[in-house]
Amino acid sequence: MKCLLHSFFSVAILFLLLAPAGHTAAAPQPDSLGYATSGALAEQLQLANLRLARQQQLLLQTQAQLRTAVYGRRQAWLSAATLAAGLLLTLGLGWWAGRKRRQRTAQEEHLRARIAADLHDEVGTLLARVSMQADLLHQQQPELSPALERLLGNSRAAALTMRDIAWSADTQTATVGALLDRMRDHLDQTVAPAGLLAQLRSNGLHDNQPLPSELRQHLYLIFKEAVANILHHATQATTITITLTHYDVASDLVFTIENDGRPALVPVRSGIGLRNMQQRAAALRGALEAGPRQEGGFGVRLQVPF
């Protein structure tokens, strides 16, 4: 057996050695179909890479848009929260300021009422005593001396002025009815002794209707000044007509005081009284007119917001 294998290998080697050199085995040729398949796969791989790059770019853009949207939403929420906080702060400050203003107003009204009560009880009582003593002296001396006459007149004027001040300071009298009552008292103490007829009317107002303290005070002082001008300057006057008018909410408050006498030769505009009335009208953001009337006499007209 070994001999046979040895013989076979020997023959094979001899055959290889004896083969001609020009008949060497040809090198294997590349397969064209394999190359085509590899090229197609490479192209598909390149396209896949491009698509992947595009998808990645699109993903990055989407992420950027999402971040922008989230940031914008956060900014919107932050702006809304800031606006709400500012609104709440403004409302809180407004409520606090209103509360402090109401407290200050209540304190001022309490102080004014206490001052009015003190003036009425202390100073008013003292002036009333002085006036009573002057009356007693007048009764004891039938012939009134100039000094006693001045004392009697000054004491009465001082008592009247003190009552006016106490009335102006008292916030419990801030109504239309209280103003009209005070005007009637003043007319009884000034116009009636002069022999004049006084008519006081109101239109569109009720007695319990409140009046701001500033408006009430300026109205009363303008009324007093106008009455004083009539008593000093209107000659041959027999009647004084005072009217306070307010028809509806949209209209202004109109105050007029007229007389049927003849004005003095000296123009009233040159007096201090009219200038004071005009200043008080300006303080009320109103307008005041004064002058002779077409039907005769003299009139003062005040129109103020109400």
Assigned domain for 9 exists: no
Domain that holds residue 202: 174-306
Determine which helix (DSSP H) or strand (DSSP E) holds 86, and give its type and residue range. helix 32-118
- Where among 142, 158, 173 does a domain terminate? 173
Long-range own/partner contacts, residues 247-254 (CB < 8 A, 24 or more apart): 247/203, 247/204, 248/204, 251/306, 252/286, 252/303, 252/304, 252/305, 252/306, 253/215, 253/303, 253/304, 253/305, 253/306, 254/301, 254/302, 254/303
pLDDT number for residue 183: 92
Residue 53 reports pLDDT greater than 60: yes
Question: In angstroms, what CA-CA distances link 43 with 12, 48, 49, 56, 120?
Answer: 49, 8, 10, 20, 113
Q: Are residues 196 and 158 in the same domain?
A: no
Provide mean pLDDT across the span 38-61.
82
How much is the average pLDDT of 84-91? Answer: 88
Which residue in this structure is represented by tokens 């060497």?
24
Q: Are residues 240 and 150 in the same domain?
A: no
Give the pTM: 0.58
Q: Residue 129 maps to which CATH number?
A: 1.10.287
Q: How far apart are CA 165 and CA 157, in angstroms?
A: 12
At 32, the pLDDT band (50, 70, 90 cuts) reads low
Please say if the pLDDT value at position 293 is more than 80. Answer: yes
Q: Which of 173, 206, 228 is the last residue of a domain?
A: 173
Q: Which of 126, 147, 173 is the last residue of a domain?
A: 173
* 211 and 291 within one domain: yes
Work out how many domains the chain is built from and give that number. 2
Express each pLDDT in 107-117 by its tens digit. Answer: 766 766 677 66
266 in the same domain as 237: yes
Q: Please report, for the domain that includes residue 298, its CATH number.
A: 3.30.565.10
Q: 295 and 275: one domain?
A: yes
pLDDT of 63 strictly over 90: no
Q: Is position 15 within any domain?
A: no
Q: Residues 230, 300: one domain? A: yes
Residue 143 token pair: 């012939």
What per-residue string of b and e applies to 54-75 under the rule 16 or more CB within 10 Å gives b? eeeeeeeeeeeeeeeeeeeeee
Q: What is the pLDDT of residues 250-291, one digit of tens each?
A: 679 999 999 988 765 444 444 677 888 999 999 999 999 988
Q: Is the pLDDT of residue 5 over 80?
A: no
Residues 242 and 123 occupy one common structural domain: no
pLDDT computed for residue 109 by the predictor: 67
| pLDDT-based confidence at residue 92 (cuts at 50, 70, 90) | confident
Query: Is 125 found in the same domain as 240?
Result: no
What is the average per-residue pLDDT within 81-104? Answer: 85
